[in-house]
Amino acid sequence: MSDVDSTDTQQSGLGSRRLAWKAVTETLKRRVPLDDVLEELAPEERLSARDEALARAIAIVTFRRLGTLGWALRERLAKGTRDERLLHLLAIGAAQILFLDVPDHAAVDTAVQLAQDDHRLRHAGGLINAVLRRVARERDAILAAQDPWLDTPDWLERRWTAQYGEETAARIAEAHRSTASVDLTVKSDPALWAEKVEGLVLPTGSVRLTDRTAIRDLPGYGEGEWWVQDAAAALPARLLRVAPGERVADLCAAPGGKTAQLAAAGADVLAVDRSARRLKRLEENLERLGLRAQTLAVDAEKLEAPPFDAILLDAPCSATGTIRRHPDVPWTKTEQDIAKLTGLQTRLLDKAALLLKEKGRLVYCTCSLEAEEGERQAEEFLARHPDFVRVPIEATEIGNLAECLTEQGDLRTLPYHLANPGGDRGGLDGFFAARFMKQGQI
């Protein structure tokens, strides 16, 4: 499919904003991930890579600052409105004005044009123009009056305050307003690759990029020397401490960063995922990296296989630990989702226990900040399975980041850990991991 005519700058700009508007509206309406919606809608707009990237950037910052945008717009809509599509159009316009390096006139004019092209919103062009121009005039006042909790839904504020205390919870909320870092897991010699990609080596051994560069253009990409993986997400596979030749299962394996780590360590890996489509991408990634693993598209609860030496279970979860990277999560998930997911996690843990050899190791992890999906699951697993014991994680295994360990010896990373003093492109995904060993019959 060809790109749009790059000479038509105005239409190109409209295409980016139209895609962002549609994506925000559909994500909130259907409560599905923004990435999935963008993948579905992008072909309709036939945008260049640059314009598609702009649409993604607009949608992401709209979700990251949705609370601030909603508050600012409500303050400037004299009569209010219940038209969600109009509110979303205003939101993406205000997001550009307040948080992106976009000329004010471009944000305002394209929003007005999009309304005029939509028969249901043609009447709103004047309102959109007036509101967005006022947002631009009052930018400094809006940015100065921000509450740290403004961009977090009330249900998450209540949960995190109860779990972590007010101070830590507020730091989590503030961290979610910053852009996530891009980290690489390298096959060997992190210092060498940090120099080549102009990044820095983190205490955990990951390489963090310090500038925004197209991933495919970086040295080593084509040669398969590294892959993109948040530094926190890279820890659970390392904690499994696999040896060459060990038979290892990576349950719920896609997109495959942890599978790659296990394969690179020399393990005989079976990567299991219920989605054949996601496994296809995992296989493509392994091919680029020159790594091998067996793949199996099956629900992990139904997996039948001889016992494994070690199992990594990265269980489906609410993903509240990835909000810096996926800011749509707070606005598309609910507490009811967490309740459903904890049941699945419990069943997967029990299945993993059955699939493990005596003296085998199990690492359970989730990219969630919620205790039900982390600390409580670990305690309840041990209560159900007296033949398992916890193997505490040592600070030396995670780059001496002692603040990322619980009193019980489990891993608990928070978004503000390893923060950049400048406030952006730092931090870690929120992860929980616990390590167990099967003792056999007692």
> Which amino acid is located at 79 in the chain?
K
Beta bridge partners of 362: 311, 436
Tell me the CA distances in angstroms from 131 to 126, 151, 428, one per residue in order. 9, 21, 36
Closest to 97 measured CA to CA, from 144, 145, 133: 133
Alpha helices in 333-431 (DSSP H): 335-354, 375-384
d(Cα 84, Cα 97) in Å, to the nearest integer? 20
Identify the residue whose tokens are 């892959």.
Answer: 227
d(Cα 437, Cα 435) in Å, to the nearest integer? 7
Closest to 307 measured CA to CA, from 259, 249, 347: 249
What angle (nearest 5°) sits at the alpha carbon of residue 127, between those of residues 139 and 102? 40
* Burial degree of 124 (CB within 10 A; 0-12, 13-18, 19+): buried
And the tokens for 8?
């038509």
Q: Report, as residue numbers or ranges, the catalytic residues.
A: 367
DSSP of 222-247, one letter per residue? TTT-EEE--TTTTHHHHHT---TT-E
Tell me the CA distances in angstroms from 440 to 304, 358, 407, one per residue in order. 20, 5, 26
